[in-house]
Structure 1
């Protein structure tokens, strides 16, 4: 059940999706009357959750516990389908309300907006909540990393009837995966809690109502991940092909990688896309490399099965497939700007397809290292040959070279896919270059990732 949190007595237009209800945040309204609530309940057949949360649990009700209890009793007399009760209210009051209003499904909730409680503290909170018969036990805590959010998902997976809600941007992906680990409820809206998705995102992008405890988990790891369109592409493919899977984006820093790998295996993640700065750092965790991948020295795709991690790199093939729609590689001179993970994959693939490859980088030592590994030329960003056929920007810089060095009429490609027309490509367009957009490479490599995971 997804609850769309609202602050007005208005049903959102055309809200008819099965498995979606309304959370009416009475505590965040400037004022309300019992009559207004009663009228609202009578006007819709949608499931309605009433919430009157006090300030100490992240709500807006500030009239004291006695007044809060009075209002809750009055609201429950309307027999709403769902009601949120805070776990730290008087135990006798909680029990009395649950006993007196059997038609209402109670969500017993705990919130911590500062930290993630320890495992022992979470267990105590859960056991106390379990002493009451409720529809679900909601535990919402502030997380500051992907790994903290994964631990919350694992807690939910191991504890029946828990709805674990990691709050904050770092936990946003886990609001989707909650359904896969058994969460009973989720929340949408974007205005009432940090990290919430909109209802449209949850349904149209992630197909949340279709997720279940057999759904396979895939995702993107790296830092940053915000601008990646991977969740649109992969979830769209899963939906089109009838694959019971979901794809989310998770920010993982290099120092978090070791713990992440162990947590992801425990959770049962099936596959991952890998972006900067992890493409090279992931190598020690790989048990099996696809043909030619180990030589590249960078990985952008993982398949996890049977306790093993299988790795491949689809960057190079994705980029070269896009370029070869305009020009074959054999015998052509290709200039790569940058020497990171993407450059490694493209350089190896270009060489394998018969190109003469030059790797140029601001830090020449990195270019030299890569060039010696794969057997090509290297230099600084100032050492661009006067004549070449293809120039590929593998850096994150807007325009890493002197525009005068861009050869008129050559092919120019940028691995950056947002914006589509980068500063580098705009400059190349002014030189009448043939453009290859980063999104072309992205779509090609993403298609190959899908094949590596499933076919």
Structure 2
């Protein structure tokens, strides 16, 4: 079940938002009274409520906004219990001072906005002294090991609670922040009775809290159980990625009980994440910036293209094996060939002998340079960091030049593999208008927005253009086949991607 947190400054808005949520099928909400600008009036909030409600009144040290005295706060919580609200949230240190009364269920909580407790078992034992019906532990992980430690701890408690006969209580474990977002989406997988979501993506009251529509509709939270297979995209940052939208929609279309998550993993945590991902049933990963090169050392088998390119964008977990692939270069080169009038599968066809300028020597640049050379194009690589361009040119046995000299090459094909022009910096372009000419083919790997400044400038100059949408959809279809053994619908992926791009703009 999803508990939707409502945090507004007025009683009227709290009630209105609850009514809107109930009309949208939500059956469980949390009222954050600490966000109210005036003293809470429970006689307006609790009577005739249309759904189960949690009353929460959070202190600043626990991530809340309560401005009045502690005595007044505790009185408010006691009054909510007397009024018969379904749930009340009580911090671990105050729960023992507020006795159980009536039918109200008690969520005894611990919030640490800065760190992760060293001894979760000791904390849990302390929380049991507050007479909980549910235990809620919300912490800020510093490492990916912190996230896994919390999830495994919570899973163990929930298994014992389900068996019954012991002291264990159903437990919610929340690893806050982007790195811990998996704990919110996969809550049911670890036996948690419910997870929290926000009523509005513009009002995030805790780090990493997800909009309820996103959680319910895109991740299909209610369908996720303990046996669901997990896939995802690993990068840092990862909030911009639209891969979850297209892969989850494809799972739904083919009636697969699988879920695809964003994993925000900083570089220093990548090794541990790859090592531990199978613990949460991760079966496959898309790999994006900045991990396409670094992930290779953690793999047990490499597709030949990965060995030659030196960059990996797809990992498949098969038992003890971690197999690396690169679907970027195939998808991109095929889309360029089609734009030039080819069939998209010629080993040495329409691209043979063409002068290609590849902007950017990162993971995507390596893949595109490799793919173009495999088709017989004459490739020159440029990068803002000249040493990186030099290194890639040596690796692939192609040419390179300084970034400032890119306009002098007069290429037939320009390929942008830099993030220049990506949302939100939509007015930037890696090539000026004067650098482009009629008849040139211009490919931009950036897919959000679809019509980047580079693409628009190229169209003004009479160039043939290929947006990053085609590469993105193509490589995602190839990944889906590697992940599931089934063919994805490129049409569906393209529709979902364009819809998602439009919603980002809004």
Return the alpha-carbon distance in structure 2 between the equivalents of residues 76 and 386 of structure 1: 75
Number of residue equivalences: 445
Return the alpha-carbon distance in structure 2 between the equivalents of residues 383 and 67 of structure 1: 67
Return the alpha-carbon distance in structure 1 between the equivalents of residues 21 and 330 of structure 2: 44
The Cα of 1:104 is off from its aligned counterpart by 2.8
Return the alpha-carbon distance in structure 1 between the equivalents of residues 319 and 177 of structure 2: 33
Alignment correspondent of 2:458: 428
The Cα of 1:284 is off from its aligned counterpart by 0.8
Residue pair 2:31, 2:54 contacting (<8 A) in 1 also: yes
After superposition, residues 119-198 of structure 1 pair within 5 angstroms as: 120=119, 122-131=120-129, 134-143=132-141, 148-160=146-158, 161-189=170-198, 190-198=203-211
Alignment correspondent of 1:389: 412
Alignment correspondent of 1:354: 376
The Cα of 1:241 is off from its aligned counterpart by 1.6
Return the alpha-carbon distance in structure 1 between the equivalents of residues 122 and 280 of structure 2: 23
* 1:93-152 superposed Cα distances (whole Å, 9 cap, x missing partner): 45x30xx43x3332211111222222x2x2211122245663321101134565544443
* 1:41-79 superposed Cα distances (whole Å, 9 cap, x missing partner): x241x2222223444433444655554444333322332
SS at match of 2:22: coil
Residue pair 1:5, 1:22 contacting (<8 A) in 2 also: yes
Return the alpha-carbon distance in structure 1 between the equivalents of residues 385 and 41 of structure 2: 67
Return the alpha-carbon distance in structure 1 between the equivalents of residues 34 and 363 of structure 2: 50
Residue pair 1:332, 1:388 contacting (<8 A) in 2 also: no
SS at match of 1:282: helix
Alignment correspondent of 1:104: 104
The Cα of 1:90 is off from its aligned counterpart by 5.2
Alignment correspondent of 2:442: 412
SS at match of 1:407: coil
Return the alpha-carbon distance in structure 2 between the equivalents of residues 89 and 60 of structure 1: 17
Alignment partner of 2:15 out of 2, 9, 24 = 9
SS at match of 1:421: coil
Q: 1:59 to 1:374 in 2, by over 3 A?
A: closer
Residue pair 1:386, 1:405 contacting (<8 A) in 2 also: no
Report whether the alignment pairs 1:47 with 2:52.
yes
Unmatched tracts of structure 1, length 5 or more: none
Q: 1:364 to 1:87 in 2, by over 3 A?
A: closer
* 1:187-209 superposed Cα distances (whole Å, 9 cap, x missing partner): 22234323222211212222222
Report whether the alignment pairs 1:331 with 2:352.
yes
* 1:346-376 superposed Cα distances (whole Å, 9 cap, x missing partner): 2222222333333233444433432343343
Residue pair 1:274, 1:299 contacting (<8 A) in 2 also: yes
Alignment correspondent of 2:491: none
SS at match of 1:50: strand
The Cα of 1:315 is off from its aligned counterpart by 0.7
Residue pair 1:139, 1:163 contacting (<8 A) in 2 also: yes
Unmatched tracts of structure 2, length 5 or more: 9-13, 159-169, 343-349, 421-427, 486-506
Q: 1:229 to 1:140 in 2, by over 3 A?
A: same
Residue pair 2:380, 2:398 contacting (<8 A) in 1 also: yes
The Cα of 1:230 is off from its aligned counterpart by 1.2
Alignment correspondent of 1:256: 269
Return the alpha-carbon distance in structure 1 between the equivalents of residues 434 and 42 of structure 2: 72
Residue pair 1:202, 1:208 contacting (<8 A) in 2 also: yes
Return the alpha-carbon distance in structure 2 between the equivalents of residues 69 and 341 of structure 1: 55
Alignment correspondent of 1:32: 40
Alignment correspondent of 1:277: 290
Tell me how large the CA RMSD over aligned residues is: 2.6
The Cα of 1:173 is off from its aligned counterpart by 4.2
Higher mean alpha-carbon deviation, 416-425 vs 7-16, is at: 7-16
Please report the TM-score for the alignment, with normalisation by the length of structure 1: 0.89
SS at match of 1:31: coil
Higher mean alpha-carbon deviation, 51-60 vs 426-435, is at: 51-60
* 1:158-207 superposed Cα distances (whole Å, 9 cap, x missing partner): 33232111223443343213332222222222343232222112122222
Residue pair 2:55, 2:77 contacting (<8 A) in 1 also: no
The Cα of 1:386 is off from its aligned counterpart by 4.9
Residue pair 2:248, 2:260 contacting (<8 A) in 1 also: yes
The Cα of 1:338 is off from its aligned counterpart by 1.9
Alignment correspondent of 2:84: 79
